[in-house]
Amino acid sequence: MAQWQELLRLDSALQSRVSQLYECRFPREVRHWLCTAIESQDWDSAAVDRNKAMACFRELLVYLEEQWNRSVQEKNILQGPDLPGMRDYLLKHFEAEPISLAIILSECLKEEKKILASVFEAQGCVSPAVDQKWRQLDNKVNELKHRTLETKKEIKSLEVLNEKLDFIQDSWQFQVEQHNGQSRAAVEKECCKQASFITETNQIVLQQIENILKLAEEIVVTLTDVELPEWKCRQQMACIGAPADTCLDNLQKWFTAVAEVLLRVREQLHKLQEQSKQYNSIDVSNLSGPMAENEKSAVSLLTKLLANALVVEKQPIMSSLPQRPLILKTKVQFTVTVRFLANLPEFKCPIKAKPVFDKFRGFDFSRADCKVLDVDTPGGGLVAEFGHMSIKDKRHPKSKGTSEPFSRLGVTEELHIIKFVADFQHAGLRCNIEASSLPLVVVSSTNQIPSAWASVMWYNMLCTSEPRNLSLFANPPPLTWKQLSQVLSWQFLSVGQRELDEHQLSMLREKFVDNPDDPIHWNKFSKNESAWIWIDGILDLIKKHLVDLWREGFIMGFVNRKRTRALLQEKKTGTFLLRFSESNNDGAITFSWVEHSNGETHVHAVDPCTKQELSVMSLPDIINHYSLRAKKNMTMNPLLYLYPDIDKDVAFGPYYKSSGKVKDGYVVRRLMPVTLMSVSFLPSPPPSPPREIPPMDMDMNMDTDMDINPDQLIQDLFTELTYLQNATISEPMD
């Protein structure tokens, strides 16, 4: 129930996505009224086990019976939901095949979770489990800081005690006179007692420092071996489109706090050593060993923490490809940013990072200047941005091939990394620090970018740990459909702010494998006229012309002709849907609509709209002005309702160029070029009675069986073109 309630709080666009999940599959009202019972069952297991599916099915019936009895007792039969109707529906459709119900609900619940996850990511939220883990780490770091502060107070108290004892020992004769001739033995006894107390306190302080270092070690291991790798994995997935949180604020806060504690602990140990040397009366024979061990432990922990503190905050990216990092083109500038997570004032400026490019295949930087990590960001981080870098090919232009290993790989399969190295020195501590980019691909032509991005996606789905396997494509492992479908869905989320649903992914799966359990091999995905090249063309189409429509869920997109016919044939005349052309690898979109006449159903489609055509007129305007020509020069627009039943103008009205707005008392108008005016001929048999609209649309050619007089057609077209040359249509103000 919690999941459904969260969905009900979403905005209308996201709720529309939820509605699409259940369209023609399962009644949303049943999902609503049975949300508690549905979410309490394990539909994933039931989807592959008939016995479990039957058990879950019966649980729903039992729940319905309980709710019905309650309604009867509360005399709420008329006002409540139609529980008997829901029971009849479940029995009619799923009693014989409960596993079908399990499959539907399993898929829908997963899609619901994806929608909610995308909302959490967009809002910068984290899951409750991660939030709890981070709270626990926060508490440990705060405890570490508190203990260090208490130890500092103890050492300050020790200094006062040492000074007092030293004063007594230097002035005991005066003390004897002041205390009525108190004996020297009594003074010495008091001094020994004080010295013993100081020694015990020293031991206690050293034990406290040891406990601090044990807690610090636990936190350092968590930061370097858990939290930092998890952040790197999130960044890796974000690079290929995942809606992941890559903010470094928490890591920087924790790294900085622990580094400061370890520096303060070293200072405290040095302070204790100074006290032991300054005040000779203290027995330090039992303290030197623990002091040395604590010093060694503090240095080791600080070295480990700082060695991992340098990270590539923003992976290499060209400004011309903001959604495709890790692809660099020779002689084209790119940007990369590094950050030092231990952000302490004493670390400002002394750290310089130098970029180093691997020497495979003869590439190098055009310039590789060192950068000082300085506090120059709004958040105050120690950051260095390499903003004017580029790569050059050092090979001789006439050289062919290379003697390097893996030379049989294509350019877009060669992986490289950029390292950033720094020499850290502070307070007698010195260590080498290094950070590496994710593996990247260097291309020399924009035509290589789709193949290069295929390599980037493939690598990052397979390799999420270090060290990096730069020879992956010498023998590339396959992906599962689950992995590939996820990364493909992320591409559409990244470009069009909306992921793919189960139906769309199902259609795409047919392009790669027949069985979802079959592995997908690299060559099948990336080579020649592959499905990826087709998908990449569609992504470019969405990015340039269809972002708003894709985000709003108006484009069904991935649906083949057979399913198109199945979806539309039961709908009312004029219902249409938008789908991507399967024959155009550069990316094109078409629309199909249904009409019923003479007791028969006909589904028609037009030639796809290409990027070139959409650059001249937007898809909403194409749909708005589309028309068919019938006999007697009559025109009509067959597109009335966007699937499933949204009025065309409700869906696309906000995107029409010609909205009839008024300026200074006049309707704003615009000349429509004659070259954009053409008609499609009405298919046979004719549809329902047409609506009269202005005869304006894009050139959508259709086959037709109509008996048309050629001479009359030529005369009609000539008359209309003459008219259109002087026609104007209203348009909104700029």
- Main-chain phi, psi angles of 77, to 5 degrees: -65, -45
The SS3 of residue 174 is helix
Distance CA 272, CA 275 (A): 5
Other Cβ atoms less than 10 A from the Cβ of 666: the count is 8
Residue 199: in which H helix or E strand, if any? helix 184-222
Beta bridge partners of residue 602, listed in sequence order: 595
Report DSSP state, residue 433: E
pLDDT given for residue 341 in this prediction: 93
* Averaged confidence pLDDT in the chain: 79
User: Among residues of the chain, what percentage have pLDDT more than 90?
Assistant: 31
Instruction: Calculate the alpha carbon distances from 428 to 183, 301, 349, 425, 611 in Å.
Output: 49, 15, 17, 7, 63
Burial state string for 161-193 with b = 16 or more CB within 10 A and e = fewer than 16: bbeebbebbeebeebeeeeeeeeeeebeeebee
Write out 43-95 in H/E/C secondary structure.
HHHHCCCHHHHHHHHHHHHHHHHHHHHHHHHCCCCCCCCCHHHHHHHHHHHHC
The SS3 of residue 195 is helix
The reply to whether the predicted model has a pTM over 0.85 is no
Place of tokens 């020790």: 158
Q: Does residue 391 or residue 163 have the better pLDDT?
A: 391
Mean pLDDT along residues 555-574 = 89
What tokens were used for 142?
Answer: 């705060």
pLDDT given for residue 307 in this prediction: 92
pLDDT given for residue 577 in this prediction: 93
User: Among residues of the chain, what percentage have pLDDT more than 70?
Assistant: 75
Q: Identify the top-confidence range among 148-157, 435-444, 461-470, 665-674.
A: 435-444
The SS3 of residue 693 is coil
What the chain holds in terms of domains, given with CATH numbers, is 2-122 (1.10.532.10), 129-307 (1.20.1050.20), 312-471 (2.60.40.630), 548-730 (3.30.505.10)
What is the secondary structure of 549-613 as a DSSP string? HHHTT---BS--HHHHHHHHTTSPTTEEEEEE-SS-TT-EEEEEEEEEETTEEEEEE-PPEEHHH
* Cβ contact 577:642 at 8 Å: yes
Mean pLDDT along residues 303-316 = 93
Q: pLDDT tens for residues 492-545?
A: 998 988 888 888 888 898 888 888 888 999 988 887 567 899 999 999 999 999
Distance CA 162, CA 273 (A): 13
What tokens were used for 417?
Answer: 């990394």
Q: How confident is the model at residue 263 (pLDDT cuts 50, 70, 90)?
A: very high
